[in-house]
Structure 1
Amino acid sequence: MSDLPTSVRALVADASGAESRLEFRSLPIADLGTGDVVIAVAWSSVNFKDGLASRKDGKVARIDPLVPGIDLAGTVADPGSSDLVAGQSVLVHGYDLGVAHHGGYAEYARVPADWVVPLPDGLSERQAMTVGTAGFTAALSVVALEEHGLAPGTRPVLVTGATGGVGSVALSILAGRGFEVTAVTGKAEAADWLRSLGAADVLDRSALDASRPLQREKWAGAVDCVGGETLAAVLASLRYGAAVAASGNTGGVAVPTTVFPFILRGVNLLGIDSVQCPIERRREVWARLASDLRPSLDALATDEVELTQVPGALERILAGGARGRTLVRVS
């Protein structure tokens, strides 16, 4: 611990006043929270949840003040009593990070050892954050669909919210595994980019109809990152016995559907949670993200910002103005 600085630079969300504010502060390293392992943070990323955690009305932050950043990658500065080694490249995401425990928007982070994933061979720290929380959620979605029986040749597969972090990575992974993918977006200008990620077709989100609980069977499977009426429309148009992996609620938390898709077509709703995913499965999926689930990392990293530019990036993602993955260079 003697080699660690006494204080670290961090972006802090403070909701103690009438309105929340983001400001840069020097925090004593002892105030980074509980945990066995201290990590020198090199990279983080910008996620919709980070934007919510930075706002008083976001209803995500559970401590105040909070260092946001729900994912990070860097090197072990102090392994504590863990089996990790000083200088080892690692990544952390999920659990309470950036929500109820100071997160990745600081030069250092202290976390419990059982939150830490050793960086898989084949991924750099920057590439790991190109994947990040969003990409891990996408990979969990693809794995869940394949475990349910989805296989290349059973076409087409639908991805909603396709320009977002989860959707774009899911599209890239599915296309790379040989699936015919239809991408859904409200951003017509992003169609060429979605095709570059592997989309065989691009639909405007208005094409999804949630007015009827059962519609023509079309999709062999789906990754839904939106929720609300979009998820209802997906359920209504899945093929018999197909499944949708759902992980988002930007379109609303209420799903206006009936039991008909489930009891008349045997469709399945697979809930995807990356936050409390057990560490063993987490490490297994990350190993696959470096190999057979590897997405098109260069195409997905659409923006890169310094820590000082994160407030503006958070505003953009909350306003729906971001696409793909925005990386944060911390160190």
Structure 2
Amino acid sequence: METKSTYKAFRVEENEGNYISTIKEMPFTSLAQGEVLIRVHYSSLNYKDALSASGNKGVTRNYPHTPGIDAVGTIVSSESNKFHVKDNVIVTSYDLGMNTDGGFAEYIKVPEDWAVKLPENLSMKEAMIIGTAGLTAGISVLRLSENVKPEDGPIVVSGATGGVGSLSIAILKKLGYKTAAITGKETERDYLIKIGADEVIMRQDFEETEKKPLLKPAFAGAIDTVGGVILENIIKSISPMGVVTCCGNVASPKLDLTVFPFILRGISLIGIDSQNYPMTYREKVWSKLSNEWKIDSLTETCTEITLNELQEKIDLMLKGKLKGRTVVKLDI
């Protein structure tokens, strides 16, 4: 254990209904059995982090709080039989950054069961460009690819400029799939083509409520990150025996559908829960993301910031004005 008595953290405090963030010095606390203390090198910014930082009680119940659902770093103290000092590990999801102080800090203390060893051929920065968003994308691609092959037809991806959407497109491209990217940002067409999209579809073309129970089949499968009417219309547009994965509800958590896409076309709808995904499968996905699924241009799709720049990026994310991935460098 290092001799420092405090460490820097991005703390969000509640003051008469307002949520204010500051960089604060925090004291170390002792480890319980089975816990590890990690010196964080990088974290990353996710939509859940932005919600936590703005006082969303559905994400974080109690304040003061340190958000950050992703972290990667080196173990400096261990009460674990599984991990040892100097091990490099990744921690994503579970309760990190939600109701447990998270990765927007120089150190985190977590149970051993939340950590996975950093793959040898993946840098810490690359691991956080991937982060929960990439893990979610990887799980989605894994479930999709078990049933839909590249020769079956194109895959449509919604929320395409976001973290999950953009990484899904890049992985699918790596695996030989044709993709169609749904976005509300006409200005990002070139960006989406650059990361691997073969076609860009404007969101308004999928946002209109379509009363027909089925639409003309256009896609072999889909990765949906937004829910609502867009997901409804995607499901109606999937070819027979196609697969749709869903992992988000930023548009709406509700679906207004008939059962016809499922019983007349045999479509499967698969929910993706990366927060509590079993460790065996996490390790499998991380292995693929660091080997055969590894994206060569990974570092080109991210912006690197410090804790001092974090609030500005959170504000932009809440306004829907961020694209790609934002990683936070802690080992300054």
TM-score by length of 2: 0.95
Take 1:13 and 1:32, find their aligned partners in 2: how far apart are those partners? 23
CA contact (8 A) 1:213 1:233 kept: no
Q: CA RMSD in A?
A: 1.6
Residue 190 of structure 1 corresponds to 188
Take 1:62 and 1:278, find their aligned partners in 2: how far apart are those partners? 25
TM-score by length of 1: 0.95
Residue 326 of structure 2 corresponds to 326
Change (3 A) 1:96 1:4: farther
Q: Deviations over 1:206-231 (max 9, x none)?
A: 12254133100111000001111111
Matched, 1:263 2:263: yes
Residue correspondence of structure 1 range 103-252 to structure 2 within 5 A: 103-147=102-146, 149-208=147-206, 209-211=208-210, 212-252=212-252
SS at match of 1:239: strand
Identical counterparts, % of pairs? 38
Q: Deviations over 1:260-292 (max 9, x none)?
A: 211221211100010001111111110110011
Q: CA deviation at 1:34?
A: 8.8
Q: Deviations over 1:90-128 (max 9, x none)?
A: 110110000011100010000000111100121000000
CA contact (8 A) 2:213 2:258 kept: yes
CA contact (8 A) 1:11 1:24 kept: yes
Aligned AA (1:236)? K
Aligned AA (1:150)? V
Take 2:98 and 2:324, find their aligned partners in 1: how far apart are those partners? 22
Name whichever of 41-50 and 56-65 sits farther off.
56-65
Q: CA deviation at 1:15?
A: 2.6
Residue 283 of structure 1 corresponds to 283
Name whichever of 161-170 and 59-68 sits farther off.
59-68
SS at match of 1:243: strand
CA contact (8 A) 2:31 2:37 kept: no
Take 1:273 and 1:263, find their aligned partners in 2: how far apart are those partners? 25
Take 1:169 and 1:286, find their aligned partners in 2: how far apart are those partners? 14
Name whichever of 54-63 and 321-330 sits farther off.
54-63
Change (3 A) 1:186 1:31: farther
Q: Deviations over 1:273-329 (max 9, x none)?
A: 10001111111110110011223412321x111111111111111110000001111
Instruction: Extract unaligned runs of 5+ from structure 2.
Output: none
Aligned AA (2:298)? L
Residue correspondence of structure 1 range 67-82 to structure 2 within 5 A: 67-82=66-81
Instruction: Extract unaligned runs of 5+ from structure 1.
Output: none
Name whichever of 290-299 and 66-75 sits farther off.
290-299
Residue-pair matches, total: 328
Take 1:127 and 1:25, find their aligned partners in 2: how far apart are those partners? 27
SS at match of 2:71: strand
Take 1:32 and 1:106, find their aligned partners in 2: how far apart are those partners? 17
